[in-house]
Amino acid sequence: MIQKASKIKIAILLVLQFIAISISAQTPTITYVDTQIDVDGKFNEDVWNTLNSHSGFYNYAPTDVGLAENQSSVKMFHNGEYLYVSLTYNDTTSNTQVSSLKRDVPIGISDGFVMVLDTQNQEQNAYYFSVNSYSTQIDGIVERTNEGYDFTTSWNTIWKAKAFLNDNLKQYEIAIPLKSLNFNSDNSVFGVQFYVRDIKTNSWTILKNVKRNYRLFDLRFTEKFRVEDLPNSSASRFAVTPLVTVNNQNDVVNNTNEITIKPSLDVQYNVTSSLKLDATINPDFSQIDVDQQVTNLTRFSIFFPEQRNFFLENADLFSNLGVEGINPFYSRRIGAENPIQFGLKLSGNVLPKTRIGVLNVQTDHEDTNASQNYGALVAEQQLNKNFTATGFLINRQETDKFNFKNDYNRVTGINLNFKSDNNKWIGLANLGKSFNDHISGDNSFYNAGIWFNKRGFNWNAAIKNVGKNYITDVGFTPRLYNYDAINDVTVREGYTQTTIGTSYEKFYDNSRTLNSVRYLNYNNDIYFDESGDLNQASHFFNGVVFFKDLSSIYYVYTQEYVNLKYGFAPLGNGNALEPDNYNFGIFKIGYNSANNQKFRYQLDAQKGNYYGGSRIAAGAYINYQLLPFANLQLNYDFNKIDLDLLGKKTFHLTRFTGEVFFNNRLNWTTYVQYNTQNDNFNINSRLQWEYKPLSYIYLVLSDNYNQDIIRKSWGLAFKMNYRFDF
């Protein structure tokens, strides 16, 4: 009897051991191998033959049904210093196509692959690495936004990548230094996703299955990889980047010429493998890339994204403290009027589920603008699988040398994010309050929003309220400020906004002609003033037919009701619309060609009303690719507005971009912009040489004219940095 019981125990132990081994075998693993490789895309090293291959890629676009016909295989390992990745794509042709040889141009219209790496496995943010078939590198950060995920390519690090075209096989090999990654050895699971882009067939294929109703870089769908023998901490990373800018500016109108030489220094240091310290001294934040100009026919300011590297590491901690149009922190406010003397930023994980962001920037005084100190403190806590809470404090205070003066603006608040287990529901709640010297009352903000998403159908609803004294000097709240063009004053007025939206799209996977049809895309925004009276109601209707090659034809109809309380001068001729009730709408129809051709174009035409008059508009986008040598692009927008007795005006906006690629590290880019609304004709021509990884020399010529092509100013700048990595 005892012997029988002993046999049963042994049998149970063997079964349990078999189950454990089976589960372990099914868990994808990034193994540790003490070896190095030569990153050349050829996979000549023996280690690649010993690793498990991860394959079975799914379709994402133009169809999201089933496994991909052209399969890929991925292998990964690390040696404690580098994470090595190889990917092989089984193409049907030896041909390849790319859109750019310039670093950080996304591969959306190129052949290549993307790797997204969530090293904290928290589905909050992740690293983005990709390489096209000409070995051009793109890196950035995927970050959580209020209603989903987005990414920026402004974050950079030093890593290695090489593509090798082996007949029909497209082979990619990369090496990412572990010291560049934010990880925690107590959490040895990385969320990983791979994407392969074949622009020739206009297809995206993906390792972990995701449907097209979700954003391409949705971190909730990453494959979970266990990292074997993850180091306790990454090697200390200490990067120092000195920089010098020599700038000659000639003001033709005032007949002045100024030459400035500005040295600066940037420092990055890993406090831990998951917590980073950034410092900048006397930074040169002059932008090499120019902002893309737009025609603004609204009553409010336009949002432009941040492009300065100092503000971009863990940027989602600071940029998602509010909602669209009501954000307490907008980093482009810092340094907009006064030069920055220094800045410090500490950001990252202090615990596996806790992230912090601490920022302090001091500006100098300039003319009548007093010096200011800007501070931000953000703490984000993942409460459980579904809820994340964020608290923040933003401060702007006038300074006199090392003394703080009693001129300040402070904003504090808390946000609560929800995401469901089935990934169909997202919720967001915000509470905020501002404090200002000599101002009190009506200083709060709240928002509650919900999004539902499944294949082919989604809807959302939200309500927001902004008090007239919810002042955010370092934020972006354009609708709070109403400019009265008749009395030349700006009136601050609070409001309540309700939003509802829905979309229905049907996919035709078996059709030879159609890819999908978006039968309905509707959005409604209603605004009430402080008295509860209707101030504006906006309706947006849209429908699209996507053909098999992903070319499309679409319509848009917008209808606006505006109770205009303050004078508005949209023509810029001194004649303002009187306060009154206005009801107007405009219909737009357009066509977008397939984006996998050397010659691509988009055309649209609009006709309708505009306040008390009429509006006719049209737009064109033309792109011709002479790649891998050059890329030419032309945008044109036309708006003709007739407001009867107030006058007529035609606004022209033209932007030409010409890029010449000598190789992956040397390129020449020229922008030409003509904007009659801003009375500006601008030329910006830039020679850029990456003479070593992330070390650049720029030579930039800028020339500014008015719309009559009379020169206003010109400038020539030389900029050079050198990155030391320790």
As a whole number of Å, the CA-based R_g of the chain is 28
pLDDT at 272: 79
pLDDT score of 307 more than 80 = no
pLDDT at 17: 47
**DSSP for 11-36, written as a single string:** HHHHHHHHHHHHHHHHS-EEEE-S--
Least confident of 22-31, 102-111, 472-481, 713-722: 22-31
| Alpha carbon 217 to its chain's center | 11
Q: In this structure, what are the phi and psi dihedrals at residue 51, rounded to the nearest 5 degrees?
A: -95, 150
Mean pLDDT confidence for 393-419 = 92
Please give the residue that has the higher pLDDT: either 504 or 312: 504
Q: In this structure, what are the phi and psi dihedrals at residue 488, rounded to the nearest 5 degrees?
A: 55, 50
Determine the 3-state secondary structure of 331 from DSSP.
helix
The two structure tokens encoding residue 420: 């469901």
Token look-up 């979309």 returns 503
Which residues touch 579 (CB under 8 Å, ≥6 apart)? 564, 565, 566, 567
3-state secondary structure 352-366: CCEEEEEEEEEECCE
Least confident of 307-321, 477-491, 558-572: 307-321
Share of the chain above pLDDT 70, in %: 94
pLDDT tens track for 431-440: 999 999 888 8
**CA 437 – CA 215 distance, rounded (Å):** 43
Parallel, antiparallel, or unpaired for β 630-642 and 648-661? antiparallel
CA 473, 476, 477, 482 torsion-angle sign: positive
H or E element: which one contains 390? Answer: strand 387-400
pLDDT tens track for 201-223: 999 999 999 888 788 888 888 99
For residues 552 and 546, the answer to whether their CB atoms sit within 8 Å is yes
Least confident of 31-45, 266-280, 308-322: 308-322
Mean pLDDT confidence for 569-584 = 93
Mean pLDDT confidence for 97-126 = 90
* Neighbour count for residue 67 (Cβ, 10 Å): 12
For the chain, what percentages of helix, strand and coil (3-state, to nearest 5) are there? Answer: 5, 55, 35
The pTM of this model reads 0.84
CA 121, 124, 125, 130 torsion-angle sign: positive
pLDDT score of 18 more than 50 = no
Average pLDDT, the chain: 90
pLDDT score of 26 more than 70 = no
**CA 129 – CA 39 distance, rounded (Å):** 15
pLDDT band, very low/low/confident/very high, at 351 (cuts 50, 70, 90): confident
pLDDT at 285: 62
pLDDT score of 239 more than 70 = yes
CA 301, 305, 311, 316 torsion-angle sign: positive
**CA 518 – CA 102 distance, rounded (Å):** 34
pLDDT score of 700 more than 90 = yes
H or E element: which one contains 6? Answer: helix 2-26
pLDDT at 290: 62
Task: Classify residue 8 by burial, with Cβ atoms within 10 Å: 0-12, 13-18, 19+.
Answer: exposed
pLDDT score of 279 more than 60 = yes
Distances (CA, A) of 509 to 91, 345, 547, 553, 672: 22, 49, 11, 18, 42
Domains recognised in the chain with CATH numbers: 9-227 (2.60.40.1190)
For residues 268 and 237, the answer to whether their CB atoms sit within 8 Å is yes
Q: Give yes or no for a cis peptide into 628 (omega within 30° of 0).
A: yes
pLDDT band, very low/low/confident/very high, at 657 (cuts 50, 70, 90): very high
Q: How far apart are the first and last CA of the chain?
A: 68
For residues 338 and 366, the answer to whether their CB atoms sit within 8 Å is yes
Determine the 3-state secondary structure of 221 from DSSP.
helix
**CA 90 – CA 166 distance, rounded (Å):** 10
pLDDT score of 686 more than 90 = yes
pLDDT band, very low/low/confident/very high, at 516 (cuts 50, 70, 90): very high
Distances (CA, A) of 568 to 561, 564, 660: 15, 8, 43
**CA 475 – CA 321 distance, rounded (Å):** 10
Task: Classify residue 684 by burial, with Cβ atoms within 10 Å: 0-12, 13-18, 19+.
Answer: buried
pLDDT tens track for 127-136: 999 999 999 9
pLDDT band, very low/low/confident/very high, at 234 (cuts 50, 70, 90): low
pLDDT at 337: 82
Strand segments, DSSP code E, in 565-647 are: 580-592, 599-610, 613-626, 630-642
H or E element: which one contains 88? Answer: strand 82-90
The two structure tokens encoding residue 341: 């003397």
pLDDT at 24: 41
pLDDT score of 21 more than 60 = no
Determine the 3-state secondary structure of 405 from DSSP.
strand
**DSSP for 153-181, written as a single string:** S------EEEEEEETTEEEEEEEEEGGGS
pLDDT score of 600 more than 90 = yes
pLDDT band, very low/low/confident/very high, at 10 (cuts 50, 70, 90): low
pLDDT at 6: 54
